[in-house]
Amino acid sequence: MHVQEWLETVPPLAIYLLVGVVIGLESLGIPLPGEIILVSSALLASQHGDIDPFVLGACATAGAIIGDSIGYAIGRRGGRPLLAWLGAKFPKHFSEGHIATAERSFQKWGMWAVFFGRFVALLRIFAGPLAGVLRMPYWKFLIANVFGGILWAGGTTAVIYYVGVAAESWLKRFSWLGLVAAVLIGVTSMLIIKRKAKKAQPAHREPEPVAAGD
């Protein structure tokens, strides 16, 4: 079933909770389609008056900020072993190359990596835990987390909602285009990160032969 068609069968309160929980878990470090759920819900809000876009945006923002904060706390407590465990559980998302790429971004940009990482599909799941592992001062993390969460979650909700209102009749027939656009953006971001991750992986070296008599 189409994501938006399924959401149409769900009560507004459940949609608010779903958006907050999915985005929160994604921000915490669990690979989930938070952006797709948010875009679908915002489109639905533009077509149905039962869903309040302000409440939807607030739930998305709260999920993003709280999820990232929990991820930070877990990363700070778990340290490097946590990244190794995540790599074993989610090898496609937490490979050594992906972690190396994200770590270089943090070392170069600091708190800005947390802020801008919110807008990159794959980096969203890294920001909280990795900031904790790297012992970023919490006040810096919190500032970037709050402003990034508000701008990404609130901004996405507002843009999609008002586009939907302005072109309601068109979107009722072709609302799937919003999801396609979101998926394409996410896939493009992932491909860029994967390419950088491959470059970041250390080259495999064969063991040197042991000389006779050693």
Nearest to 80 by CA among 130, 141, 140: 130
The three-class DSSP label of residue 10 is coil
**Over residues 106-118, mean pLDDT:** 78
Query: SS3 breakdown of the chain: % helix, strand, coil, rounded to 5?
Result: 80, 0, 20
The distance from CA 87 to its chain's CA centroid, rounded to whole angstroms, is 17
Q: How many CB atoms lie within 10 A of CB 178?
A: 20
Confidence of residue 178 (pLDDT cuts 50, 70, 90): low
The three-class DSSP label of residue 15 is helix
Confidence of residue 75 (pLDDT cuts 50, 70, 90): confident
Higher pLDDT pick, 187 / 64: 64
* Res 171: pLDDT: 43
Question: 76: which residues sit within 8 A by CB, 6+ positions away?
Answer: 132, 133, 135
* Res 181: pLDDT: 60
Number of residues that this document lists for the chain: 214
DSSP category for residue 212? T
Q: What is the pLDDT of residues 4-35, one digit of tens each?
A: 566 667 788 888 999 999 999 988 878 788 88
First-to-final CA distance of the chain: 66
Sign, CA dihedral 129-132-133-134, equals positive
The three-class DSSP label of residue 120 is coil
- Out of 35-44, 99-108, 113-122, which region has the weakest mean confidence (pLDDT)? 99-108
How far apart CA 135 and CA 104 sit, in angstroms, is 14
Residue with tokens 């919190």: 142
Q: How many CB atoms lie within 10 A of CB 166?
A: 10
SS3 per-residue string spanning 48-116: CCCCCHHHHHHHHHHHHHHHHHHHHHHHHHHHHHHHHHHHHHCCCCCCHHHHHHHHHHHHHHCHHHHHH
* Res 60: pLDDT: 93
Q: How many CB atoms lie within 10 A of CB 114?
A: 29
Cα angle, residue 52 at apex, residues 51 and 57 outer, rounded to 5°: 110
pLDDT over 70 (residue 92): no
* Res 20: pLDDT: 94
How far apart CA 156 and CA 150 sit, in angstroms, is 9
